[in-house]
């Protein structure tokens, strides 16, 4: 009996009928938070990693090395090490989280290079090197010549661009959530989390439907999340959403074997455009309007409030 139970739980979950793949990506490591509190950052990293392990979810983390000196450098680096110890790959998210629209191609590439040394050093003992790149704000360069220069540099330096097809603006919920925790306002904390999960459900559904409009089938999705306390507290709820939408978390490598990701990205746009929208422009298709709304007005107002308070 024990042996059978052990076998059942230790086997990888077989794909259920109509189950599609999803890759989970976490940006802004070591953390995105308004609280300058190293213990808070350490805790949320631990809880995200514990949650991913509990659900056997692969993931990829994207580092801003510029954040290392914002708190205690050694403990910030220890947080990155925890992700690698958990078997999760780390990618580059630039040093300072600037937009290519602000920097231009040359300075933007310099900012990518500046974001490499610590992560490269941490990957070395694993026999690995930096191979994933995620653009801050999903801004990939404008005009087209800037994008081409950046794309060309990334490709000759062994980087693959990590696209995004599910973006639930989690950062906008995460900062008011931090603020609610700081103020010990548990009721508000609960409300924000409930709104976040409801909004995320609508965004996941929209991305699935948009994938079907573009490719006439369920494509593997790539979800953008941030390394936040909100997500640390939401892993079980996110897992429930993936079950509800029949999505099975896989590695970014695995998800990107989906032929959808061979679609060229030739869109040079000033806005941070997700990859479904890029493909829609390329294929001259309209994506569903329903489900393509911004986060709730009270969350946007709460974000602006928290952001103003910090200035």
Instruction: Give phi and psi for 162, each to the nearest 5.
Output: -90, 110
- CA 11 to chain CA mean position, Å: 27
The single-letter DSSP state of residue 218 is -
First to last CA, the chain: 61
Instruction: Point out which span in 1-9, 129-137, 238-246, 287-295 binds Zn ion (CB under 5 A).
Output: 129-137
**Which has the closest alpha carbon to 136: 106, 102, 166, 178?**
102
Q: Select 55 or 160, whichever has its Cβ closest to Zn ion.
A: 160
Residue 225 beta carbon to Zn ion: minimum distance, rounded to whole angstroms: 10
| Residue 28 contacts Zn ion per CB under 5 A | yes
175 binding Zn ion? (CB under 5 A)? no
For Zn ion, give the closer residue by CB, 21 or 135. Answer: 135
**Interacting stretch for Zn ion, rule CB under 5 A, among 10-18, 22-30, 192-200, 278-286?**
22-30
* Minimum separation from the CB atom of position 45 to Zn ion (A): 16
**Which region among 5-13, 24-32, 99-107, 208-216 touches Zn ion (by CB under 5 A)?**
24-32
- Is residue 100 near Zn ion by the rule CB under 5 A? no
In whole angstroms, give the CA distance from residue 142 to residue 135: 13
Question: Residue 274, interface with Zn ion (CB under 5 A)?
Answer: no
27: contact with Zn ion by CB under 5 A: yes
Instruction: State the minimum distance, in angstroms, from the CB of residue 139 to Zn ion.
Output: 10
The total number of residues written for the chain in this structure? 311
The footprint of Zn ion on this chain (CB under 5 A) covers a number of residues equal to: 3
Tell me which residue has tokens 């994933």: 132
Among 136, 141, 211, 295, binds Zn ion (CB under 5 A): 136
How would you write 236-268 as a 3-class SS string?
HHHHHHHHHCCEEEECHHHHCCCHHHHCCCCCC
Whether the Cβ atoms of residue 70 and residue 91 lie closer than 8 Å to each other: no
Q: Is 30 in the site for Zn ion (CB under 5 A)?
A: no
| Binding segment toward Zn ion, per CB under 5 A, in 128-136, 189-197, 250-258, 274-282 | 128-136
Q: How far apart are CA 178 and CA 306, in angstroms?
A: 9
Q: Does 269 bind Zn ion (CB under 5 A)?
A: no
């Amino acid at each position: 009996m024990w042996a059978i139970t052990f076998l059942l739980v230790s086997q990888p979950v077989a794909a259920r009928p109509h189950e599609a793949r999803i890759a989970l990506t976490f940006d802004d490591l070591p953390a995105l938070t308004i609280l300058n509190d190293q213990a808070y950052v350490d805790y949320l990293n631990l809880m995200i990693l514990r949650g991913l392990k509990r659900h056997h979810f692969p993931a990829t983390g994207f580092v801003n090395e510029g954040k290392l000196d914002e708190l205690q450098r050694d403990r910030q680096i220890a947080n990155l090490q925890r992700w690698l110890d958990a078997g999760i790959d780390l990618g580059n998210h630039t040093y300072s989280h600037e937009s290519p629209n602000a920097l231009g191609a040359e300075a933007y590439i310099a900012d990518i290079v500046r974001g490499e040394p610590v992560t490269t050093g941490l990957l070395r003992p694993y026999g690995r090197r930096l191979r994933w790149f995620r653009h801050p704000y999903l801004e990939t360069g404008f005009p087209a010549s800037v994008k081409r220069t950046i794309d060309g540099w990334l490709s000759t330096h062994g980087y693959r661009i990590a696209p995004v097809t599910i973006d639930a603006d989690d950062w906008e919920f995460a900062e008011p959530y931090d603020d609610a925790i700081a103020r010990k306002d548990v009721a508000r904390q609960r409300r924000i989390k409930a709104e976040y999960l409801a909004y995320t459900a609508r965004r996941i559904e929209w991305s699935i439907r948009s994938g079907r409009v573009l490719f006439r089938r369920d494509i593997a999705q790539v979800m953008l999340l941030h390394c936040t306390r909100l997500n640390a507290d939401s892993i079980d709820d996110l897992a429930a959403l993936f079950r509800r939408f029949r999505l099975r978390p896989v590695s970014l490598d695995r998800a990107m074997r989906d032929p959808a990701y061979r679609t060229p990205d030739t869109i040079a746009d000033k806005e941070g455009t997700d990859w479904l929208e890029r493909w829609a422009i390329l294929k001259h298709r309209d994506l569903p309007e329903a489900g393509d709304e911004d986060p709730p007005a009270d969350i946007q107002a709460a974000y602006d409030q928290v952001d103003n308070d910090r200035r």
